[in-house]
Structure 1
Amino acid sequence: MSGQAIILGAEGAKAADLSSTSRVRTFAISLRSQPLAWLRGLALPAVVLAGLEASVRLGWVPAHLMPAPSDLFYTLLELADGPLWRHIAASAKRVFAGFGIGAMLAIVFGALVGLSKVAEDYIEPSFQALRAVPGLAWVPLLLIWLGIDETSKITLIAIGAFFPVYLNLVAGIRNVDRKLVEVGSMYGLSQLALVRRIFIPAAKPYLFTGLRSGLSMAWLCVVAAELLAATQGIGYLLTDGREVSRPDLVLVAIIVLAAMGKLTDSVLKYWEARSLQWRDVFAGAA
């Protein structure tokens, strides 16, 4: 019997070693394919920009409605020498503050509701009702309560970022395999140990999905807040372009917003990949 156990142990160690080798090989392949992935990601924007440039230059699209991408580039350079960085810094500060507050509250309430059926009975109906309220519906009330300063803008962003993180975290906790929890309880793990060793690793993929969705919603909400009451920010730049009838300013603001959203999402995606690199999951067919 002991010899059989040794053989089984050796086979298990060999399987684990092969699995580890497979993950290392997959990680190395993904590193080599990253430059190619970046080039593929740039292909569609390049085609769209080239098509717009040709359409405007040939007169198919009115230049006063859709400026050529080359003209947008010069507008971007002009703004970069002036107020562009101040607008970006103002919006980024609001997004990070609101997203941080909303995500932290979502993690607290999401863990509470996910782990406790009693907490779910008390909290979940109210949160589901509040989730159905559009973000813009909060704007008049926040302006009345908090005024037009930074507090109202950050609060609106926090509300927008809260629900994606909350919903995904609750779903992640509730999708933990019940057998894993039962096995942990059989081995005498405390509630805190169960959370640390079973619930957190299992719910992490859902949490990162919620964080990325919440961050995207935060960028949407900051534009909504700055469109209504702001003297700085990307949303203010959009309003300024509309008031002076300059579509190039509006389009540059949209491009900057898209770039900032992509940059911050890429940081979260990199953090997600580093935190979940122990998983051996399907990464898509080549």
Structure 2
Amino acid sequence: MEEPLSAAGPPQGGKRPLGGQQAEGAAWEPTCAQAGPAPDRAAIVLVDPTRVGGALAGASRVPRGLQRLAGPVLVLVLWQVLSSLDVFDPRTTPAPGRVLATAYDLVASGALQSHLAVSLMRVLQGLALGLFIGTVSAVAAGLTRWGENLVDANMEVLRAVPNFALLPVLIAWFGIGEEPKVALITLSVLVAIYINTFSAIRNVDAGLVEAARSFGVRQRELITTVILPGSLPGFLVGLRLALTGAWLALIFAETINAPVGLGRMMSDAREYFRIDVIFVLLAVYAVLGLASLALVRWLERRLLVWRRAFDGT
């Protein structure tokens, strides 16, 4: 004889009779829950992804800025190891220890600080002028058709012509003083700022603009609350490229007719074959570039808090 089924359901099959009543030979349908435990089945645990992300972030005690230095530190370690193994010729590629000793001598004598101060002043002047001219030109060309007709073609010409090729013309116009050097840096900055900001303004979602207009937003409010905030990411990309272009223009400008500056130090080191001094100056340019990048990242964290973007895994 078959054992009778209890009201709780079948003892082993995990099924209940169709129609809610027991009958001989009746079909059984699977139930969602079983009376007893099921050790042969894996348990499904729902985890909040925000808690997982917070736990992973809390587990990493190293600041994100220091984590980004892992690549340069690895290069330095590899450089030191290869120098210790005599893979590099010390006459052409000095070891990091020798470069550090030369940097200490330059700092102790005050030569590095004096040249660096002059170079920083030139970059700040050119960056300020380039930011102002480039931003005003991009806003005028991006918001109006007449501004685009007057400005855009000229900026494209400056973009097509290498700025370094304009240095002889700048010297002929302004002489061999500070003006041509600052002007060269200004040209490098304003072209990068204009191209990226103008493109960002024109790529603002037209649906957002039409939605704002349908709610009765005035033109001035439309520009300040929709268009300009929407173009801010492109402006910051242009700022990053502008800072890089400013340092490149500084190097080239100071190698010609510059009595003082990092570029002048580079020219003198090349003339006297001071490879260690050249490596020190390269390290200074690298630190300045990393500092500029850190500044732009700081601005992005402060100004783009409203934007959700992929930040890697």
Same fold (TM over 0.5): yes
Residue matched to 1:156: 184
Residue matched to 1:119: 147
Residue matched to 1:40: 67
Root-mean-square deviation (CA, aligned residues, Å) is 2.3
Equivalent position amino acid for 1:35 in 2: V
Runs of 4+ in 1 over 6 A off after TM superposition: 25-32
| Structure 2 counterparts to residues 170-185 of structure 1, below 5 A | 170-185=198-213
Equivalent position amino acid for 1:235 in 2: G
Greater relative contact order: 1 or 2 (C-alpha under 8 angstroms, separation 6 or more)? 1
Residue matched to 1:71: 98
Please give the alpha-carbon distance, in whole angstroms, between the structure 1 residues aligned to 2:100 and 2:303: 37
Identity of aligned residues (%): 32
Matched residues, number: 264
Secondary structure (helix, strand or coil) at the match of 2:204 reads: coil
The answer to whether the 8 Å contact 2:115/2:262 transfers is yes
Q: Deviations over 1:170-227 (max 9, x none)?
A: 1111111111111222222222111101011101111111111101100110111001
Q: Deviations over 1:249-283 (max 9, x none)?
A: 11110110110121122112201211111222221
Range moving further from structure 2, 30-39 or 102-111: 30-39
Please give the alpha-carbon distance, in whole angstroms, between the structure 1 residues aligned to 2:73 and 2:235: 33
Residue matched to 1:278: 306
Structure label with greater radius of gyration: 2
Please give the alpha-carbon distance, in whole angstroms, between the structure 2 residues aligned to 1:110 and 1:94: 24
Paired residue for 1:51, among 78, 99, 103? Answer: 78
Residue matched to 2:20: none
Please give the alpha-carbon distance, in whole angstroms, between the structure 2 residues aligned to 1:27 and 1:240: 53
Segments of structure 2 that go 5 or more residues without pairing to the other structure are: 1-48
Does structure 1 residue 143 correspond to structure 2 residue 171? yes
Equivalent position amino acid for 1:127 in 2: M
Distance verdict in 2 for CA 1:147–1:118, change over 3 Å: same
Higher-helix-fraction structure: 1
Segments of structure 1 that go 5 or more residues without pairing to the other structure are: 1-21
Q: Deviations over 1:17-58 (max 9, x none)?
A: xxxxx99x9799769858353443333323322222232333
Q: Measure how far apart 1:126 and its partner are.
A: 2.1
Q: Deviations over 1:141-194 (max 9, x none)?
A: 111111111111111000001111101111111111111111222222222111
Residue matched to 2:195: 167
Equivalent position amino acid for 1:158 in 2: T
TM-score normalised by structure 2 residue count: 0.79
Please give the alpha-carbon distance, in whole angstroms, between the structure 2 residues aligned to 1:27 and 1:206: 30
TM-score normalised by structure 1 residue count: 0.86
